[in-house]
């Protein structure tokens, strides 16, 4: 048994995750390449390796002929009988080849073939490993800044966090551990190229899936996400179990679950609202923590008119329009927000158009006119007081 070769293959399989069969094929090909470099051609050469003992047998198949014209492909009857006494003209005999007879250059070429195959397989293993994690979140270690890009070590490969995928308010130090979302894994001649992001909305979704058991098992479902990285995120959730409160499950006891995600996102605020098939209700939930007087949603045009109390207008719109902008992204509706005074002064305004009526709820779950306000709001702070102060400020 070739113990040294067996041990080397075991180490490669364990550390590089390269299968032994692939390594055996590489060795076989390298011996054939060495023979070709030594003798000029190797069309009739075969290599057999015992997978259990690592003993290998290299031979050339030669035809028995009366007059030998090509010693690489043919053999005389006299020489053939030394190998097989029954050999006769026209037969094919196996002539053993000893690899020790190969020259130094042929041996070096064989070594290069094996190393090249190992490198290719190693890159392939790493590519497949991270390709399976594409569109998922992984933990990496900040290595260094490359201009405005950041190199992130993911274990067996390095990823690139481009400038446009970074949150402007975040600043990392080398050796710091962060979670990133894998955008794309490309297979290049120099190995896999992994692009990651800290701004993608799916990063928040994956963090909730890993933190909230109910989301992982499908009891609670994330229906929509709107994010402005580094500032605020709104997510809409619904429960598939009437006994489970979707928002409460995401917030956790004393906000433990959502706070861990906020910490991972370096303090980014997260609003969690209930999903509703009724677009009017959904829009009202999405505009929380602002109090809503009435909503008229047009599901065909994907537009909505919202009336809020005068003192809630700035809160509903948010700082630099952020609250309204995120609500529009979350619901997919173009939202027009007016205060009660503005709405009454608008041409053609009829207050009754904005009043909710149970009888006008259609079969698809849409309100034809509007609905009353939804008072309960969940945030990572545990209520709406902070937002009221922020809006009034």
Q: Is 125 left (phi over 0), alpha (psi -120 to 50) or beta?
A: alpha
Structure tokens that stand for 322 in this block: 């952020």
DSSP per position, 347-390: TT--GGGGS--GGGB-TTS-BSS--------EETTSSSHHHHHH
pLDDT at 184: 93
Domains and CATH numbers, the chain: 3-125 (3.30.1480.10), 133-197 (2.40.50.140), 276-392 (3.30.300.20)
pTM of the model: 0.69
Q: Count Cβ neighbours within 10 Å for each residue of 188-225 and write b for 16 or more, e otherwise.
A: eeebbebbbbbbbbbbbbbbbbbbbebbeeebbebbbb
pLDDT of residue 369: 33
pLDDT by 10-residue block (mean), the chain, 393 residues = 76 82 83 75 78 79 84 84 82 79 71 83 89 93 93 92 92 93 90 93 94 93 94 94 93 92 93 93 91 89 91 91 93 91 71 45 34 32 32 33
Task: Evaluate whether 247 touches 215 at the Cβ level (below 8 Å).
Answer: no
- The number of C-alpha atoms within 13 Å of 126 and in the hemisphere containing its C-beta is 24
Please identify which residue in the block is written with the tokens 């400020």: 393
Q: What is the pLDDT of residue 109?
A: 75
CA distance 64 to 41: 18
How far from the centroid of its chain's Cα atoms is residue 114's Cα? 32
Quote the pLDDT of residue 139: 94
Report the alpha-carbon distance of residue 288 to residue 330 in Å, rounded.
12
**In this predicted structure, what is the pLDDT of residue 382?**
34
Q: How far apart are CA 252 and CA 98, in angstroms?
A: 71
């Amino acid at each position: 048994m070739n113990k040294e070769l067996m041990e080397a293959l075991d180490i490669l399989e364990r550390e590089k995750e390269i299968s032994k069969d692939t390594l055996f094929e590489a060795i076989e090909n390298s011996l054939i390449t060495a023979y070709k470099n030594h003798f000029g051609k190797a069309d009739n050469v075969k290599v057999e390796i015992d997978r259990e003992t690592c003993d290998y047998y290299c031979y050339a198949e030669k035809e028995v002929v009366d007059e030998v014209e090509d010693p690489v492909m043919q053999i005389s009857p006299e020489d053939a009988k030394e190998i097989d006494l029954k050999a006769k003209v026209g037969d094919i005999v196996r002539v053993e080849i000893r690899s020790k007879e190969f020259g130094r250059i042929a041996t070096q070429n064989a070594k290069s073939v094996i190393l090249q195959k190992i490198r290719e397989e190693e890159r392939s293993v790493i590519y497949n490993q991270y390709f399976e994690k594409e569109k998922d979140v992984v933990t990496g270690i900040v290595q260094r800044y490359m201009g405005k890009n950041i190199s992130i070590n993911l274990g067996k490969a390095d990823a690139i966090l481009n400038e446009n995928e970074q949150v402007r308010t975040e600043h990392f130090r080398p050796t710091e551990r962060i979670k990133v979302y894998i955008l794309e894994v490309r297979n290049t001649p120099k190995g896999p190229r992994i692009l990651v992001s800290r701004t993608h909305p799916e990063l928040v979704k994956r963090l909730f899936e890993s933190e909230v058991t109910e989301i992982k098992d499908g009891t609670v479902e994330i229906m929509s996400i709107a994010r402005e990285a580094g500032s605020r995120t709104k997510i809409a959730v619904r429960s598939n179990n009437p006994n489970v409160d979707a928002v409460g499950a995401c917030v956790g006891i004393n906000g433990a679950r959502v706070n861990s995600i906020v910490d991972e996102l370096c303090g980014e605020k997260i609003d969690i609202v209930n999903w509703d098939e009724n677009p009017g209700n959904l829009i009202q939930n999405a505009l929380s923590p602002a109090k809503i007087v009435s909503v008229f949603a047009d599901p065909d045009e994907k537009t909505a008119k919202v009336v809020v109390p005068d003192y809630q207008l700035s809160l509903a719109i948010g700082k630099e329009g952020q609250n309204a902008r995120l609500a529009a992204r979350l619901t997919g509706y173009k939202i027009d927000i007016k205060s009660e005074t503005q709405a009454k002064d608008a041409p053609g305004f009829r207050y009754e158009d904005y009043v909710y009526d149970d009888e006008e709820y259609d079969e698809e779950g849409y309100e034809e006119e509007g609905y009353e306000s939804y008072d309960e709001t969940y945030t990572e702070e545990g209520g709406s007081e902070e937002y009221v102060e922020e809006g009034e400020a």
